[in-house]
Amino acid sequence: MAKVISGKDLAKKIKEDIAAKVPELTAKYGRAPHLAVILVGEDPASQSYVKSKGKDAEQVGYRSTTIRLPEDTPESKLLEIIDELNKDEQTDGILVQLPVPAHIDEDRIIEAIAKEKDVDGFHPANVAALWQKRDCVYPCTPKGVIRMLDEAGVEIAGKRAVVIGRSNIVGLPMAKMLLDRNATVTIAHSRTANLAEVTREADILVAAVGRLRMVKADLVKPGAVVIDVGVNRDPETGKLAGDVDYQEVEPIASVITPVPGGVGPMTRACLMENTLECYLNSQDKK
Ligand code: GUN
């Protein structure tokens, strides 16, 4: 039986800690931190993520603005809005929910966000800083995973970690952050030959491919720590489920994260932390 790490409980604690600080900061600097979230289009999953981000921001006492734009919004219009937010001294964090519609160049959008307000940590300057071990905004999901591992008392240094997935948002920064904690890291992916052979080496296995229940018991070394970053909709039940087959894997893992209630809430808690960081950095520069 694995120890189950509740991201929901840890996220609640992190948000309570932030909420406790906000009134004093608001009095000191004359305004609360402000997070602006932009959503283009009507993808149901994105709508739900954006709603949760706004709710979390309000819960911790931030000012929260959600800008909802129609699916056919021209790229130039989106760039204009980002530019205004970049210049607005009352906005600390800017997030454009991904993916954006196909007619919009995602890279151009990410680059347009001022790196000082890039609460996602996706700007190329932030990515470079992460890979060069300089000061950076850490991307929210891998940051949340590291926090969960620490909370569960998992020793990372010296361990073998395997990350399945190589996305810019999760897989790659996750691997780098585990490496910086002195794990020995392998990045596997959906086309890795003999995937089970690779993943069974892992003391810490992070699944971030977006394939419903692809991590079966035969991919997991008994006693491994298993982190499930996947969020998939089960077509049979309509419910959310992870990349890990929880029922099969939970009995052999030492630590596991559930879906929902695992990494997801931690991503948002870390977004709140990043927003606070950007706010404090901007106030300190004044
Ligand atoms: N889409 C899926 N995850 C994320 C995220 O962490 N940030 C943004 N902006 N879009 C996403």
274 lines ligand 1 (CB under 6 A): no
Residue 120 Cα: closest atom of ligand 1: 7
pLDDT over 70 for what percent of the chain? 100
Average pLDDT, the chain: 97
Q: Show the CA angle centred on residue 123, arms to residues 181 and 171, nearest 5°.
A: 45
Measured in angstroms, how far is the CA atom of residue 97 from the centroid of ligand 1? 5
> Are 136 and 126 within 8 A, CB to CB?
yes
User: Which protein residue's CA is at the shortest distance from atom 9 of ligand 1?
Assistant: 97
223 Cβ contact list (under 8 Å, min separation 6): 203, 252, 253, 254
pTM: 0.98
Task: Note the pLDDT of residue 271.
Answer: 98
**Given CA atoms 229, 234, 238, 239 in this order, what sign does their dihedral have?**
negative
Measured in angstroms, how far is the CA atom of residue 112 from the centroid of ligand 1? 16
95 lines ligand 1 (CB under 6 A): yes
Would you name the residues annotated as active-site residues?
Answer: 53, 97, 120
Average pLDDT over residues 246-262: 98
118 lines ligand 1 (CB under 6 A): no
| CA-based max dimension of the chain | 57
39 lines ligand 1 (CB under 6 A): no
Query: Mind listing the domains of the chain with CATH numbers?
Result: 30-114 (3.40.50.10860), 140-263 (3.40.50.720)
Order across the sheet with 255-256: list the strands.
3-4, 255-256, 225-228, 204-207, 160-164, 184-188
- Note the pLDDT tens digit of each residue in 194-249: 999 999 999 999 999 999 999 999 999 999 999 999 999 999 999 999 999 999 99
